[in-house]
Structure 1
Amino acid sequence: MDAASVSLLRDLLAGSGWVERTRELGLALQATRSPGGLLVVGTPDEEPWHVAAHLDDEAGLSGLPQLAPTLVRWEPPVNAPPHLRVGLDRLRDARRGETLFVVTEQQAPVPLLERVDDARRTGATILALDGGDPDLESLAHDAIALPPDGGGPLSFDGAQHLVSMAAGETRRLGLRERLARFADRISGPRVNE
């Protein structure tokens, strides 16, 4: 899905609450302090390659290097390139300033829940995009649960696109900043008399 398709999806979902929720989660990913500190993990049967690739693209396009994810894998092949050999042990080393983003439509297996809990206890921020897993959501600081089996207006794939695109959005101006800019615009340049 390209940027135009994601924009169209946003337009179609306007007013449903989904755009706002995916934007909140996407912007929460920006809180990661450094490149490599955004850990993306799924289940043994469902590695989140798709969202990891989009987050990597957004890191480059937005100038936010902290969005460049570390894909955490259950059984990384020993002959894989170094960036594809990161195993679950990395979750044990998660710290404050890092973000663990769990992306799965399946129920999180107990070993994953245990690692997520450990990462939370060491100060990592836990975010989740899931198919309605109450155990995972109870550990997450913020989570979006999509109805199982595509029962809602937003597919799991669509949600991944909305979240990753929102993650690349730069900070919006606050109300005071917007009012100050507006006041500057309407007052126009002053001419010395």
Structure 2
Amino acid sequence: MDAAAVSFLREALASTEWVERTRDLGRAIRATRSPGGLLVVGTPDDEPWHLAAHLDDESRFSGLAQLRPTLVRWSPPPGAPPHLRVGLDRLEEARRGETLFVVAETKSPDPLLERVHDARRTGATILALDGGDPELEDLAHDALRVAPGESLLTFDGAQHLVSRAAGEEARRPTLRDRLARLLDTLSGPRLTD
């Protein structure tokens, strides 16, 4: 998905909560303090290569070294280039100032949940983009659930929106933004006579 397609997706979802929710998660990713401290991991059957590549692009475009991800793999092959042979043991080294971003459309296996729990205990920030995994969401400081059939947004689309949001410059909401948000909350469903 290119930049124009991501912009179109944002426009299509503008009247929903998805744009703001993906921006919130993007801002949380952006808060990673150290270069190399953004650890991105998936499940054994679905490593988040695509998202890691987009975060790497956003790091270059925005000039934010902390967005350059470390792809953590379940079984890196011997002889792989250094950036492709980071294994799960890296999660044991996670510490304060680092972010562990779990991207799992399916349920996270117990060995991953145990490592996430340990990383949280040592001070790492835990973020999750998941397809509906309550155990993972309980461990995460911030999580975005994109469950199949529950919304118009696909899991792949969410990854694109989150990675783009991570590279965006944060701006303070203007008075107009705050008033618009207030009006949106006040103008919920109304009963008629």
| Same-fold status (TM-score > 0.5) | yes
Instruction: Count residues in correspondence.
Output: 176
Amino acid at match of 1:121: R
Q: Which residue of 2 aligns with 1:73?
A: 73
Query: Is 1:90 paired with 2:90?
Result: yes
Q: What residue is the counterpart of 1:155 in the other structure?
A: 154
Name the TM-score, length of structure 1 as normaliser: 0.88
In the alignment, structure 2 segments of 5+ residues that lack a partner are 176-193
| TM-score, normalization by structure 2 | 0.88
| TM alignment of 1:35-74, pairs within 5 A | 35-74=35-74
RMSD of aligned Cα (Å): 1.4
In structure 2, distance between residues paired with 1:153 and 1:62: 29
Q: State the shift of 1:108 in Å.
A: 0.3
Q: Report the CA distance between 1:147 and its aligned residue.
A: 1.8
Q: Which runs of 5+ in 1 are unaligned?
A: 177-193
Q: Deviation string for 1:102-153 (max 9, x for gaps)?
A: 00111000000000000000000000000000000000000011123x4410
Match of 1:31 in 2: 31
1:172-187 aligned within 5 A: 172-173=171-172, 175=174
Corresponding position of 2:170? 171
**Letter aligned with residue 76 of structure 2:** P
How do 1:69-148 residues align onto structure 2 when only pairs under 5 Å count? 69-148=69-148
Q: Secondary structure at the match of 1:111?
A: helix
What's 1:190 paired with? none
1:171 positional shift = 2.0
Larger Rg: 1
**Percent identity between the aligned chains?**
74
- Partners of 2:105 and 2:83 lie apart in 1 by 24
